[in-house]
Structure 1
Amino acid sequence: MITSRELLQAHLDAFNARDLDALMAGFADDAVWRTGTDTVTGRAALTELFGWAMANILPELTLRTLVVEGGLAACELTETLTHEGRTSAVPIAGFFRFRDGLIVSAAVYREGSADLA
């Protein structure tokens, strides 16, 4: 059986490769993604969210720390973004729940502002 650690690493690998199909294959159909004041629910909405990000802000995640217990994972990451020619690195914390080998929910918290302007 695949572990939560392996599932999270597969998520990060697909994200960093900007492989939207592989990324979305890791989500349950009814997955919930929370970040800031936004909540995105369902694979179609997540595909739109991540597709936009991959095309417009060129995100990349670097794993700093990871704690896993059963179907839960908590991690500290650095997200590097490039928007309108400016690159920035932002510390984030992510909390993931897995079920049946898929991400069913995630909450992501950024240090400072997530505004791109």
Structure 2
Amino acid sequence: MTTTDAAAAVREHVRAFNARDLEALLAGFTEDAVWITGGTTVRGRAALTGFSAAAMRGLLPTLELRDVIAEGARAACQMTETLTHGGEARSYPIAAFYALRDGRIASAKVYREGSADVV
């Protein structure tokens, strides 16, 4: 999906993520997208494919979008992420910052409360 509306792009990203629709999720990224969370940096749609697929299988995450502020090609979001780690369901407040290029996510930086790494 491509859009000039950063808030719409984030909402579609969250929808595809929660549906575990890997094809739709990746269609929302540029070929050279950069995803940063915790100590992890993933570069390029090809690398994002493996990263996203593994997270969806292993952590079973879902996102609840609480707030999104968008201006031009940038968006800032407050979300709650719920995932399974070590057999236990956990929820984390997160903040995410997106930059779009040509209607797709070109970069994202995610901050999880306390730590961006699942512990």
Q: How far apart, in 2, do the equivalents of 1:86 and 1:38 lie?
A: 22
Return the TM-score normalized by structure 2. Answer: 0.93
Unaligned runs of 5+ in 1: none
Distance (Å, rounded) in 1 between the aligned partners of 2:87 and 2:39: 26
The 2-side partners of 1:12 and 1:43 are apart by 17
Aligned length: 116
1:11 positional shift: 0.3
2:22–2:49: 8 Å Cα contact kept in structure 1?
yes
Share of identical aligned residues, percent? 53
> After TM superposition, where is structure 1 displaced by more than 4 Å over at least 4 residues in a row?
none
The 8 Å contact of residues 4 and 73 in structure 2, kept in 1 or not, is answered as: no
CA distance in 2, matches of 1:115, 1:15: 18
Partner of 1:10: 12
Consecutive unaligned residues of structure 2, counting only runs of 5 or more, are: none
RMSD: 1.1
Q: Which residue in the other structure is 1:85 paired with?
A: 87
Q: 1:19 corresponds to which letter in structure 2?
A: D
Name the TM-score, length of structure 1 as normaliser. 0.94
Identify the range of structure 1 (5-14 vs 78-87) with the bigger mean alpha-carbon deviation.
Answer: 78-87
Among candidates 23, 27, 31, match of residue 25 of structure 1: 27
- Number of the residue aligned with 1:74: 76
Larger RCO of the pair (alpha carbons < 8 Å, separation 6+): 2
The alpha carbon displacement at 1:85 in A equals 2.2
